Amino acid sequence: MLKPILLVEDNPNDLELTLIALSKSQLANQVIVVRDGAEALDYLHRRGEYSQRSPGNPAVVLLDLKLPKVDGLEVLKEIRTTDGLKPLPVVMLTSSKEEQDLVRSYELGVNAYVVKPVDFTEFVRAIADLGIFWAVLNEPPPGSQKYVRPTK
């Protein structure tokens, strides 16, 4: 069983676009969607709504920077300061390359920082590359499907 990808995204349009991009990348991983930072932490900590979920961390967290209640940086910070969550790969997804966000994210130990490209094709490629690297290459779980990039 592949570890799932945790997608933290509040904006419905971004959510739809990201899901489409992920599906286009043909990753076999399940995608868990949460809609704000608080919910993401609930999922990771297996509490609240997610107290009953089976244990285990996702393969990667795709984290939007701007989120209601608890923003992406706060989620990242908590991940990096919580035992058991520390090694979790986190990819920050954001609309812009504001330097302050970039600096802060790397300070907090983000694994990758992706500025969502305006062009959808590029967006799909970026999401696919991310998924391949973090969900598959980085930590190939035993018995998992080998990913073969589709030829165009």
Partner 1 sequence: MEILQFTSPRAHLHMNPASSVPELDLSSCDREQIRTPGSIQPHGFLLTLSGDMEVLQASANLGDWAGVSAQAAIGRPLAEVIGEGTARRLAPELGAKLGPRPYYVGTVTTANHRHFDVLGHRWDELTILEFEPTERGAAADFRQLYSLLGDFLQKVNGAESIESLAQLACHHVRAVTGFGRVLVYQFDRDGHGHVVAEAKQDDYASYLGQHFPASDIPAQARQLYALSPIRLIQDANYTPAPLVPALNPVTGKPNDLSFAVLRSVSPVHLQYMRNMNTLASMSVSLMVKGKLWGIISCHNEGPSPVPFEQRTACEQLGQLLALCIESREDAHELQFRLEVRRIMVSMLAGLTQGSNFIDNLSSVFPELLRFARASGVAVVVDERVLSFGDTPEEDDILGLVDWLALQHHGDIYHTDHLSAAWPGGEKMTRNASGLLAMPISRIHKHYLLWFRPEFVHTIEWAGNPHDKLVQASAAGLPMQLSPRTSFAAWRETIHGTSVPWHGGEIELALEFRTALLGIALERAEQMAELAEELTRSNKELEAFSYSVSHDLRAPLRHIVGFADLLIESSGNDDGERRMRFLKNIKDAARMAGKLVDDLLSFSQMGRASLRPADVDMGDLVAACIDKLSLETKGRRIEWDIAPLPVVHVDPTFLHLAMYNLLSNAVKFTGKQDPAIIRVSAEDRPDETVIHVADNGAGFNMDYVHKLFGVFQRLHRMEDFQGTGIGLANVRRIVERHNGRVWAESVQGEGATFSFALPKHESN
In the complex, the residues that contact partner 1 under the rule CB under 8 A are: 10-14, 16-17, 20, 35-36, 38, 65-66, 68-70, 94-96, 98, 100, 116-121, 123
Could you please report the per-residue DSSP string of 21-33?
HHHHTT--S-EEE
User: Among residues 2 and 38, whose Cβ is nearest to partner 1?
Assistant: 38
Shortest distance, position 78 Cβ to partner 1, whole Å: 14
User: Among residues 20 and 31, whose Cβ is nearest to partner 1?
Assistant: 20
Shortest distance, position 117 Cβ to partner 1, whole Å: 8
User: Among residues 2 and 15, whose Cβ is nearest to partner 1?
Assistant: 15
Q: Quick one: tokens of 7? A: 């997608």
